[in-house]
Structure 1
Amino acid sequence: MKAGEARRALCHAVFILLLCVGVFVVLRERVAEVSLENFSPFHNTSPCACGKCLSEDDVWFTQRFNKSVEPFLSAKHSLSEAAFRWWKVTSLTFSPYVIHATVDNLFKTFPATPDVEASSDRCRTCAVVGNSGNLNGSPTPLDTHCKFPPLMNTGRTKGYEADVGKRTTHHVMYPESAVDLDNTTHLVLVPFKIQDLEWLIKAFTTGFSGASYMPVKSHIKANKDLVMVVNPAFMRYVHDTWLEKKGRYPSTGFMALVLALHICDEVSVFGYGADKDGNWSHYFEILKNKHLRTGPHAGTHEYDVIQQLHKNQIIHFFKGW
């Protein structure tokens, strides 16, 4: 095979299940093969092996996209003071010592460094699928993406395979929406408060007995080696830079989309936003409250940003209606 010619080497799916808008990411990788005899230091200066990479040639996008922000917590990067102050207000937590001690304990149980680095010899394509009612009757056969079905928080696949697919590889949740997972699915935690990190540790070990605004699972069944925790600094970056501080904090769905922009090279988006009548509903339920909106999230502004990303050809957005 000639230098620079891409072949499909790996196909794995990333399903992200979300609050208000459920999301899964279908991820496919192509890895370029390079022969040493034809190698040149000038051969490939592009950040990815796709025909076009997300970070190229768009001023509006590059003004918002900051690749230096770590998407996930890891043992290598501590929480900055600025991110701590933002999270303190959001999570009503006031002790930096407690936060740093909890993060240290986190990586005694779970992987210290998630593998999400970019590569110039890889083309990673993702389908980010929300659980909006717009997903019903999706014209695109999502399973052809080598994908994962949309389950966010309590999103469902059984009975909805034609719309959301059959497989789940990454499931995004927080304690109040937690569900048991199989041994091959990644648990992706969005920590809205310090107690969420404490819950994650104890739910896998001694059992959690704390209180919240609704009942939470004391134990969870999942593969501890496939746990990933979204970085509060990333949550702040999404709120401040992408949403211009609108809303109290980003929806889980919008954070998942920006997360995909950071770990994928090509992104397609399904199942987001209100329906054609302006109602915010889920694909798996009959809408009873037609006045239901997006609560503390700037839902309309988030949707406008998604449409701008599509207009600028950064993503491919399929409305569903």
Structure 2
Amino acid sequence: MVRMKTTRSFIFLMCPIMVLLFFFYSSGRLHLNSSLQKSRFDKQGFLLKLNRKLPLELQYKYGNLSKGECKPGYTEARMTLIYPEFVKPAPMFLDPNFKRLSKISSYPPPFGLKTQVKERIIDYILAATKSYSLGPELDSLRCKRCIIVGNGGILSNKSLGSKIDQYDVVVRLNEAPVAGFEKDVGSKTTMRITYPEGAIQKSERYEKSSLFVLSAFKPMDFRWLLHMVKRDRLRYMDGFWKSVARVVPREPQDMRILNPYFIQEASFRFIGFPHNNGLMGKGNIPTLGTVAITMALHNCDEVAVAGFGYDLNFLHAPLHYYEKLKMSAIKESWTHNIYKEKEFLRKLVKGGVIQDLTNGI
């Protein structure tokens, strides 16, 4: 009887100890698994070991296509391989339902629209443009191949013009000219993404059939676009850091507002720039080229780039293909961090997400 009581007491004593040991062991395993899981990714969530090999089902899917045929969903598949948290749906341009986009409602420009909703300026612009997509012809494509043409001096003497023109969507940036440079940069322009200070100022230099797309970096940029849409005379220059275009010779239906989510995502998620409480500050603004690439990741089936890459080892090399400004000028920029941005772009190239035609990244 005494032995039975002793045995029972021993069992009662051991039970909680066993439970504690179980939880300790389980938590240790969970912590170990969590640590191992974290060690596979960098701070931004990209795999440290970038795997270019597609799953067998995708190898079979794309392997059955004819050579040179557009691969539906290819960019998304590649991006998801190296960045598992990637979520594709993100509209290219703002439309009248833009207030439903929760990701941009918490940040002021350039990362969102928090301070703009009450002023209704965006509502006025969208009501005037009445168009919010690439257009019927491109929207109907089952598969879209896009190229972002950067402004880098690396484009010079590459004779890539005819290859660039073969893409369905050709994106150009700011005031980079086409006329006179067709051999290297092509002649086709689907859209030109810019901001007031970067916009072409001479009306005769605008393409006749491209979309004019505003990427707004400050509240004043929306007011400027409203003047361009309404063809009002711009009487003030306060709020701009240099001269801006007074007229944009495009019809309202050919004007768009780029979704600011792409600036937010590129800066805070993909590159890892300082958050700065969601405000524009030193070294936390991506270049317009990287913003355009981020937009393409969400909206194109295949993505290529040309004219990208700042080689700061050659400070006297041309910064742009169309002017004599030197590479050293980019070091003076307080808003950009070219080194961190290049790290992100290299991940995309190494992971096979984008193709770099000029091998500058």
Q: Same fold (TM over 0.5)?
A: yes
Instruction: Give the equivalent residue in structure 1 for 2:127.
Output: 108
What is the identity percentage for the equivalent residue pairs of Structure 1 and Structure 2?
Answer: 23
Aligned partners of 1:116 and 1:245: how far apart in 2? 34
Q: Which runs of 5+ in 2 are unaligned?
A: 1-68, 275-282
Corresponding residue pairs, total: 271
Within the candidate set 213, 230, 238, 1:188 is matched to 213
Report the CA distance between 1:149 and its aligned residue.
7.0
1:95–1:265 CA distance, 2 compared to 1 (3 A): closer
The one of 177, 191, 211 equivalent to 1:170 is 191
The residue number in structure 2 matching 1:11 is: none
Task: Choose the corresponding residue for 2:96, options 75, 91, 109.
Answer: 75
CA displacement, residues 250-280 of structure 1 (integer Å, 9 cap, x when unaligned): 1111001111111210111111011373447
Instruction: Read off the aligned partner of 1:238 and give its amino acid letter.
Output: A
Displaced runs of 4 or more, over 6 A: 89-93, 116-121, 147-150
Give the letter for the 1:313 counterpart.
Answer: G
Cα distance between partner residues in 2 of 1:136 and 1:126: 21
Contact kept? 1:152, 1:171, Cα under 8 Å: yes
Answer whether contact 2:131 2:254 (CA < 8 A) is retained: no
Q: What is residue 248 of structure 1 aligned with on the other side?
A: 284
Comparing 103-112 with 284-293, which one deviates more in the overlay?
Answer: 284-293
CA distance in 1, matches of 2:353, 2:145: 12
- Change in 2 beyond 3 A, CA 1:143/1:314: closer
Contact 1:189 1:228 in 2 (8 A): yes
Contact preservation (8 Å) 1:49, 1:122: no
Query: 1:315 corresponds to which residue?
Result: 354
**TM-score w.r.t. length of structure 1:** 0.72
Q: Which moved more, 1:232-241 or 1:271-280?
A: 271-280
- Alpha-carbon distance between aligned partners in 2 of 1:220 and 1:308, rounded to the nearest angstrom: 36
Amino acid at match of 1:59: L
Tell me the residue number matched to 1:33. none
Alignment partner of 2:222 out of 175, 189, 197? 197
Aligned letter for 1:285?
Answer: E
* Matching residue within 211, 214, 222 for 2:242: 214
1:295 aligns to what? 334
2:221 aligned with 1:229 = no
What is the root-mean-square deviation of aligned Cα atoms in Å?
3.3
1: CA distance, partners of 2:222 / 2:346? 33
Does 2:299 align with 1:273?
A: no
Measure how far apart 1:112 and its partner are.
Answer: 4.8
How far residue 105 of structure 1 moved from its aligned partner, in angstroms, is 1.0
Contact 2:72/2:142 (CA < 8 Å) preserved in 1?
A: no
Structure 2 residue identity aligned to 1:189: L
Higher relative contact order (CA 8 A, sep 6+): 1
Point out the structure with the larger strand share.
Answer: 1
Range moving further from structure 2, 117-126 or 271-280:
117-126
The 3 A distance-change label for structure 1 pair 79 and 214 is: farther
Q: Which residue of 1 aligns with 2:324?
A: 286
- Larger fraction in helix: 2
- Distance in 2, matches of 1:168 and 1:54, equals 21
Q: Distance in 2 between matches of 1:259 and 1:135?
A: 22
Deviations 1:113-163 (CA, angstroms, capped at 9, x unpaired): 325899997121122210111111226442452577774222122222221
The normalised TM-score by structure 2 is 0.65
For residues 172 and 141 of structure 2, what CA distance do their matches in structure 1 show?
Answer: 30
Deviations 1:25-80 (A, max 9, x none): xxxxxxxxxxxxxxxxxxxxxxx9726622226432332x3323333211122175
Partners of 1:249 and 1:276 lie apart in 2 by 19
Equivalent residue in structure 2 for 1:157, among 178, 191, 196: 178
Change (3 A) 1:60 1:249: same
Greater Cα radius of gyration, structure 1 or 2:
2
Residues 159-188 of structure 1: CA distance to partner in whole angstroms, max 9, x if unpaired?
222210123231111112222334411101
Q: Which amino acid aligns with 2:286?
A: P
CA distance, structure 2, for counterparts of residue 158 and residue 49 of structure 1: 29
For 2:323, give the aligned amino acid: E
Q: Secondary structure at the match of 1:292?
A: helix
Counterpart of 2:124 in structure 1: which amino acid?
A: N
Q: 1:12-23 maps to which residues of 2 (within 5 A)?
A: none
Q: For 2:296, what is the secondary structure of its paired residue?
A: helix
